[in-house]
Amino acid sequence: LAALGLRDLAATGHPLITLGHDWGAVVSLGWAPRHPQLVAGVATLNTAVHQPEGAPIPAPLQAALAGPVLPASTVTTDAFLSVTTSLATPALDRETRAAYHLPYDTAARRGGVGGFVADIPADPGHGSHPELQRVGEDLAALGRTDVPALILWGADDPVFLDRYLDDLRDRLPHARVQRYERAGHLLVDDRDITAPLLQWAQLLQGRGD
């Protein structure tokens, strides 16, 4: 926090809004309840903070996590990345798709891809499961306060199904929700989310005046 200057910004009246997607949203939604004195609002794109016990994880993740498929699809090859970047609607242009792949152009640079997929808590016995549970519980506690929340959701996401959106709504009952039909996992590429995000942020600014 000191290195980022977030405390100083908050102290001088600059509202701090968290925003994340996928694992980044789990991180940001886990961070915000720990720093309620700094956070003016929380926003999230498609993500999940709870995996219902007994419910199977979505089929694409089951496939990616299946035994030897995991290292082969995430590290040895860029198959996982290729599938992910093919989910955009409309399709990504060549330059944008290449930009997504550029940081992971060799197997040596794809270790993080394999690592974050392996970290998905597919069942209660997974090492990451307790921490995800904590994030969900803390987020529900935040939802019982007056901290504003915004959920921007791509409805046609094969990974983050509507059951995860319903769970977020339960935890953040006061959240403003904008659900985009025929938009999916790469919502930031599928639709212009800048306008609704900034409009919401401006409302927060007025709320503090």
- Would residue 160 count as lying in a domain? yes
Residues 45, 79 share a domain: no
CB 158 within 8 A of CB 50: no
Alpha helices in 109-193 (DSSP H): 111-118, 129-143, 162-171, 187-190
10 Å Cβ neighbour count for 145?
11
For the question of whether the overall pTM of this predicted structure is more than 0.95, the answer is no
Q: Quote the number of domains for the chain.
A: 2
Gyration radius (Cα) of the chain, Å = 18
Residues 79, 39 share a domain: no
Last residue of one domain, picked from the residues 98, 118, 138 = 118
- Would residue 87 count as lying in a domain? yes
Q: How confident is the model at residue 110 (pLDDT cuts 50, 70, 90)?
A: very high
Residues 174, 108 share a domain: no
Q: How confident is the model at residue 205 (pLDDT cuts 50, 70, 90)?
A: confident
Residues 193, 151 share a domain: yes
